[in-house]
Amino acid sequence: MYRRQLVKRIVKELEKGKTIDAVKNDLRAEGWSLKDIADASYYSTYPEKLRHFSVTRFLDTEVHLYITIVLIGISIFFIALFIIGETGNDNNIYLTSPDSLVSEFRYGPELALANPTFFQKTKKELSDAKADFIEVDLSQMKVRYFEEGLQKLEVPVLTKGRPGSWWETPAGLYKISSKEDTHFSKIGRVNMPWSMNFQGNFYIHGWPYYPDGREVSSSYSGGCVRLSNESAKALFDLAKVGTPILVHEKDFFADNFVYEFVKPHISAEHYLVADLRNNQVFIRTENQRVPIASITKLLTALVVTEYLNLDKEIEIPKAAIVYTSKQRLVAGDKVTAYQLLFPLLLESSNEAAETLARSIGKDYFVRMMNDKAKALGMTNSVFVDPTGAGEGNVSTVDDLFMLAKYITNNRSFIWEISSGRLLTSAYGNIEWDNLQNMNDFAEDESFRGGKVGKTTAAKESGLYVMDKDFGNGARPIVIIVLRSDDRKSDALTILKYSMENFVASSTSISNY
């Protein structure tokens, strides 16, 4: 049902001089669904069409089953005709909600199959289902458009986000959430022609230019997939809002490093040790879903860096002053989103997590956490808050492996913050005094980064990424322990076991 009061609200806010993006952000923060916002946005532009849908409100009431089925069938037929007619018009902005898209192919967890072959299997299933989709191959620097499972277009990627930077292009399975003939980036202060948004602040678009008409000259983008204007226009004309986008690169696929096999007693109920480059598992338990405590904050940090403007100052709300390991924040003070990452990842600050989430609406933020998890193939993970305090924040060792792999390949600065090694960046110097690094192994030179947690439901938990040499050069090794009585001791025990029982094959060549 289209909500007239929401349409009137949008019209009123636009008359006050607000941009449509600002109005949508306000509505999201207030808890309105993406579908309601998208529908209301459309009818605020075409209010005369709103009255045509009174039948939708009529069908919300209880009527005879037979009549309901007949009316629904008739409505679907005429709505289909309406949509076909509307697609011929060239509107400047194309918006809809993924909730309103209907397809025989199911998106989300059903596609995030057994990892690490998530991307190969997802592409095969999309092709087998004869779906329309976009593949962004960041290794070959190609964008391919598939129509009914068959490739119809291939164009070169001119630039992408710099690998290892804050703006590295994120791998994963997404959908086009909106299209604009020209999108103005408030962060880069540039116009981006033929823009297709697929994740937070990330777009596929043509060559950007400044308001005075000058083209940008950077060799790397701010994380977006940049095409030539001609290529972007060709893709823009083919793709629709809701079209799946599969973004991948070689770092997500196994390399050719091989191990030869040469069970310790620990308190942790669930654990895993594995190589993040070739996906070799040295030791593990069954893949059971359990509470993970503050390991949750790794996903919180991902959402912050991919959806929030890190330069933006956030006022600390009173509601964010909650129980935490070390209280630092004061209600009413203003701190940038970037600076809040440090207490979040070093001191496991619940106050920082709450402040960041509430800056865009806590419920909306948590939805973004779950959406990001699904995009990474974390099929057995659920998140209920940004702190990890709730026992409903659950995951598995396999899912956390995928999270660690994504951060290592795409958001390595999160490890740099959690290890205490990042003191300055493009966003400035760290401004906190005497921050305490509560992550285990912070003094170990091989410790790349990680996160620890502790609650009654989760007991002690830890995720650590360490550079270890199995005989042919250092390899990035992830150690995960869940529901442990002594996470650090358990992590050392299973790491020692792995290194004593596995050696690099004589045929292996490390490309790490």
- CA distance readout (Å), 207 to 95, 159, 170, 246: 22, 9, 19, 21
* Chain centroid offset of residue 169 CA: 11
pLDDT in tens, 317-352: 999 999 988 899 999 999 999 999 999 999 999 999
pLDDT in tens, 104-114: 433 432 333 33
pLDDT in tens, 364-400: 999 999 999 999 999 999 999 999 999 999 999 999 9
Q: Which of 193, 219, 252 is the last residue of a domain?
A: 252
Instruction: Write down the residue that tokens 């405590």 correspond to.
Output: 293
Number of domains in the chain: 3
Per-residue pLDDT at 261:
59
Binding annotation for substrate: 451
| Inside any domain, residue 246 | yes
Share of the chain above pLDDT 90, in %: 60
| Inside any domain, residue 103 | no
Per-residue pLDDT at 55:
35
CA-based torsion, 429, 434, 435, 441: positive or negative: positive
Structure confidence at residue 16 as a pLDDT band (50, 70, 90) = confident
Instruction: Report which residue type is found at 321.
Output: I
Instruction: Report which residue type is found at 394.
Output: V
Return the active site residues: 205, 224, 294, 297, 348
| Inside any domain, residue 98 | no
Per-residue pLDDT at 105:
39
Binding annotation: 451
Residues 53 and 127 placed together within one structural domain of the fold: no
Instruction: Report which residue type is found at 432.
Output: W
Tell me how far apart the alpha carbons of residues 456 and 459 are, in angstroms, rounded to a whole number. 5
Per-residue pLDDT at 52:
43
**Domain containing 81: what range?**
4-90
What would the mean pLDDT of 176-204 be, rounded to a whole number? 92
Residues 312 and 239 placed together within one structural domain of the fold: no
Residues 242 and 293 placed together within one structural domain of the fold: no
Asked if 112 contacts 123 with a C-beta cutoff of 8 angstroms, the reply is no
Per-residue pLDDT at 19:
73
Residues 403 and 312 placed together within one structural domain of the fold: yes
Residue 202's contacts (CB-CB under 8 Å, 6 or more residues apart) are: 169, 170, 223, 224, 225, 306
Other CB atoms within 10 Å distance of the CB of residue 300: 29
User: Looking at residue 463, which CATH number applies to its domain?
Assistant: 3.40.710.10
Residues 412 and 271 placed together within one structural domain of the fold: yes
Residues 198 and 276 placed together within one structural domain of the fold: no
| Inside any domain, residue 394 | yes
Question: Is this structure's pTM higher than 0.75?
Answer: no
Residues 334 and 480 placed together within one structural domain of the fold: yes
pLDDT in tens, 36-84: 777 777 666 655 545 444 333 333 333 344 445 555 655 555 554 444 4
Residues 308 and 197 placed together within one structural domain of the fold: no
| Inside any domain, residue 34 | yes
| Inside any domain, residue 208 | yes
- Would residue 293 be called left, alpha or beta, if left means φ above 0 and alpha means ψ between -120 and 50 degrees? left
